[in-house]
Amino acid sequence: MTVAILFARADSHYKELSDVDVFDAERDARTYDGPWPVVAHPPCRAWGRLRAFANPRPDERNLGRLAVALVREFGGVLEHPAGSTLWDAQKLPRPGERDQLGGWTLAAPQKWWGHKAEKATWFYVVGCAPGEIPALPYVMGEAAYVVQSRKREDYRPHITKAEREHTPPALAEWLVELAARCKGHNAQVVRRGAAGGASERTEG
Q: What is the CATH number of domain 3-180?
A: 3.40.50
Residue 121 sits at the vertex; the CA angle it makes with 200 and 164, to the nearest 5 degrees, is: 50
In tens, the pLDDT along 41-90 reads 999 886 766 555 556 676 888 999 999 999 999 999 999 999 999 999 99
Q: Considering just the CA atoms, what is the radius of gyration of the chain in Å? A: 16
Pairing mode of beta strands 38-40, 20-23: unpaired
> Per residue of the chain (204 residues), what is the pLDDT tens digit?
899 999 999 999 999 999 999 999 999 999 999 999 999 999 988 676 655 555 667 688 899 999 999 999 999 999 999 999 999 999 999 999 999 999 999 999 999 998 778 789 999 999 999 999 999 999 888 876 676 655 555 667 766 665 565 789 999 999 999 999 998 655 444 444 444 544 455 565
Pairing mode of beta strands 104-109, 3-6: unpaired
Residue 110 sits at the vertex; the CA angle it makes with 92 and 161, to the nearest 5 degrees, is: 100
Look up the pTM and report it: 0.83
CA distance from start to end of the chain: 22
Contacts of 123 (CB under 8 A, 6+ apart): 77, 78, 79, 105, 106, 107, 108, 175
Strand segments (E) across the chain: 3-6, 20-23, 38-40, 76-81, 104-109, 120-126
